[in-house]
């Protein structure tokens, strides 16, 4: 394993590894991704292996350009164009009917594909140079915390890949919003980098969602997921002896003061949890954020991180 700055040479080398059926780690604006050729079933199987992820959990396909959508999706409704125009490149993933060229390995045996165009310039340059659609789940071990910095990539993953491109800290810090467009009405399968209210305003209709307990149209719906090694506890206020995340003036040196704005909070969350995990903390206590809709993606990750299921 080697960590490289994303120079043109390193990007070209990473693209070559992908073209030849290998696996690399690349930064995106949401989280780091474990990337391979989405149309190469063997490479995709290797990604499941490295992540130790059940292979019925489909991967997200990343494209560099809208004009490549027809390579992975058989068709798309008008609403897909509207969403893509508003949010691509960016942290929004659309679930569409699968193109027959996409192996069933990539889609976890489904007739649908999840696809997005990332905004991070390194991801887009890698995809462009690779010249193929790129499958990239988050670069964490199954159920673990996604890395938002190259430093936070699990050593288990680091040893398995040839190239890690270090693009600095991820701007969004939480995974993309996944919207299913294959049913009669659009449904949010996973809240994320683009807020529900924004999408609803754009489409002029309410979006369905999956209740947290209903498994498993989307693997992001496993209850315990996005979890640090430490036990996570949600509380209304931290006591002075607690180690964790607060909105208030910290009551001790083990407390991290978090932003009161949901996007800024989301951008820091995984990095702070990784930091506490690295320090060997056994229990992370987190002050509950407001119940507002704006906090949906953060709440989703906190619920999953604190679930024992």
Supply angle C-alpha 140, 145, 150, rounded to 5: 60
Question: Could you tell me if 47 and 26 are in contact, meaning their C-beta atoms sit under 8 angstroms apart?
Answer: no
Q: Is 69 in the site for ligand TXA (CB under 6 A)?
A: no
Supply angle C-alpha 249, 251, 254, rounded to 5: 105
- 178 closest CA partner among 223, 148, 137: 137
Question: Which span sits near ligand TXA by CB under 6 A: 38-46, 52-60, 157-165, 264-272?
Answer: 52-60
Pick between residue 72 and residue 256 the one whose CB is nearest to ligand TXA: 72
**Residue with CB nearest ligand TXA?**
220
Q: How far is the CB of 4 from ligand TXA (least distance, A)?
A: 18
For residue 228, what are the CA distances in angstroms to 11, 20, 72, 145, 288?
A: 30, 33, 33, 6, 17
Count residues contacting Mg ion (CB under 5 A)? 1
Instruction: Write out the binding residues for Mg ion, residues 110-139 only, by CB under 5 A.
Output: 138
Q: From residue 216 to residue 255, what is the string marking binding to ligand TXA with x (rule CB under 6 A)?
A: -xxxx-----------------------------------
Pick between residue 61 and residue 281 the one whose CB is nearest to ligand TXA: 61
Instruction: Write out the binding residues for ligand TXA, residues 256-275 only, by CB under 6 A.
Output: none
| Of the candidate residues 71, 110, 128, 224, the single one contacting ligand TXA (CB under 6 A) | 110
Q: How far is the CB of 155 from ligand TXA (least distance, A)?
A: 19
Q: Is 177 in the site for Mg ion (CB under 5 A)?
A: no
Instruction: Compute the distance between CA of residue 113 and CA of residue 71 in angstroms, rounded to an integer.
Output: 11
Q: Is 31 in the site for ligand TXA (CB under 6 A)?
A: yes
Instruction: Compute the distance between CA of residue 13 and CA of residue 25 in angstroms, rounded to an integer.
Output: 12
Pick between residue 215 and residue 279 the one whose CB is nearest to ligand TXA: 215
Q: How far is the CB of 51 from Mg ion (least distance, A)?
A: 8
- 168 closest CA partner among 266, 35, 27: 27
Instruction: Write out the binding residues for ligand TXA, residues 143-182 only, by CB under 6 A.
Output: 175-176, 178
Count residues contacting ligand TXA (CB under 6 A)? 28
Question: Could you tell me if 124 and 208 are in contact, meaning their C-beta atoms sit under 8 angstroms apart?
Answer: no
Pick between residue 40 and residue 138 the one whose CB is nearest to ligand TXA: 138
Site residues (vs ligand TXA, CB under 6 A): 28, 30-31, 33, 58-60, 91, 93, 95, 107, 110, 112-114, 118, 136-138, 175-176, 178, 189-190, 217-220
Site residues (vs Mg ion, CB under 5 A): 138
């Amino acid at each position: 394993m080697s960590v490289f700055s994303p120079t043109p040479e390193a990007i070209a080398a990473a693209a070559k590894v992908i073209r030849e059926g290998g696996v690399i780690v690349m930064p995106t604006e949401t989280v780091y991704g474990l990337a391979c050729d989405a149309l190469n079933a063997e490479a995709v199987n290797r990604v499941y292996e490295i992540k130790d992820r059940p292979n019925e959990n489909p991967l997200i396909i990343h494209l560099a350009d809208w004009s490549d959508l027809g390579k992975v999706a058989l068709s798309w409704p008008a609403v897909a164009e509207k969403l893509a125009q508003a949010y691509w490149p960016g942290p929004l993933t659309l679930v569409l009917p699968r193109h027959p060229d996409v192996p069933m390995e990539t889609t976890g045996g489904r007739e649908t594909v999840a696809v997005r165009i990332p905004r991070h310039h390194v991801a887009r340059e890698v995809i462009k140079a690779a010249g193929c659609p790129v499958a990239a789940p988050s670069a964490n071990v199954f159920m673990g915390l996604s890395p938002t910095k190259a430093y936070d990539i699990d050593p288990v993953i680091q040893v398995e890949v040839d190239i890690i491109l270090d693009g600095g800290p991820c701007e969004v810090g939480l995974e993309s919003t996944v919207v299913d467009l294959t049913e009669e009405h659009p449904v949010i399968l996973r809240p994320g980098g683009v807020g529900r209210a924004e999408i609803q305003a754009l489409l002029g209709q309410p979006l369905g969602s999956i209740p947290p307990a209903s498994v498993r149209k989307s693997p992001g719906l496993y209850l315990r997921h996005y979890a640090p090694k430490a036990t996570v506890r949600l509380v209304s206020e931290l006591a002075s002896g607690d180690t964790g995340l607060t909105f208030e003036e910290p009551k001790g040196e083990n407390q991290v003061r978090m932003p009161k704005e949901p996007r800024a909070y989301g951008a820091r969350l995984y990095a702070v949890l990784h930091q506490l995990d690295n320090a060997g903390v056994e229990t992370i206590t987190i002050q509950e954020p407001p119940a507002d809709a704006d906090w949906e993606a953060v709440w989703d990750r906190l619920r999953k991180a604190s679930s024992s299921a």
